[in-house]
Amino acid sequence: MIRISIADKYYYPSDFQELEEKISNCFENGPGSTPLKDRSKKIYGILVPHSSYDDSGECAAWAYKELGEGKFPDAYIILGINHKEYIGRKVALSKKDWKTPFGIVKNCSSSLKTSLKEDEKPHITEHSIEVQLPFLQFISKQYLRDLKIIPINISHITKEEAENYAKEFENVSVIISSNMVKGNSKDTREKNIEIIKSITELNTERFLELTKETPICGKYAIVLGIELLKKLGSTKGSLMKYISKDNENYASIVFN
């Protein structure tokens, strides 16, 4: 079974060559270059935005450059948000392979020993995981045959649940798909700085406290992501880039 792309044309180009050029430009205009071929860095994961490539692609490229220079894992866990919270499980695993204009990305979820339950419904119309795949394929050109993903869509999760799920994974890298708090005021920027600090410090309690009354697009993906990263061995995150465009704010974070 294959999950067909739904975000192309809206969030990124549907043509192979145009998409290749778009992502190349995101690297050139963002961090300045595509990832080096030497993949020796220890990168446990990244946090990147999930808006259109025109709006947030250059920001995302900062983290993807580091991920592309990191050691190639057994699989990438991609944590997305369920924008339609009333559809499906609160924590929904996809077991389908995913298709983009670059080709099909293999899903290794079926081989996992996990308590996570499959539910494809929340994934059908959701873009937050899909928009990460072309970037992931782009930085994995030498490893496309071995590239595997574990897509998880999350509308709600407790810290305790996240801790338990985190124990089930090893030899993976984490991709957290999340935008920051919306708004262009000074207060919003200060709030985002506080939130980013809690994320880079892998402090789930502080993050939940800061976002209790403040909506952030990807809140529970971040909660599970932090717990996964700690379990895998990460001790800190580093903010690579923060940008504001119109009323949206985006961050690119790398976890070592």
Tens digits of residue pLDDT in 105-114: 999 999 888 9
Closest CA to 191 of 206, 201, 203, 176: 206
The structure's pTM equals 0.97
Closest CA to 83 of 127, 137, 132, 140: 127
Q: Is the pLDDT of residue 85 over 90?
A: no
Q: Is the pLDDT of residue 59 over 80?
A: yes
Q: What pLDDT does 205 receive? A: 98
* Range 38-48 average pLDDT: 96
What's the total number of domains in the chain? 1
Return all residues near 255 (Cβ < 8 A) that are at least 6 apart: 43, 44, 45, 46, 47, 174, 202, 229, 234, 236, 237, 238
Q: Cα–Cα distances in Å, from 104 out to 94, 143, 161, 199?
A: 14, 13, 31, 32
Q: What is the mean pLDDT of the chain?
A: 96
Supply the CATH number for residue 184's domain. 3.40.830.10
Triad 189, 248, 33: Cα angle to 5°: 95
Domain that residue 217 falls in: 2-255
Q: What is the largest CA-CA distance in the chain?
A: 47
pLDDT in tens, 113-128: 899 999 999 999 999 9
Q: What pLDDT does 83 receive? A: 81
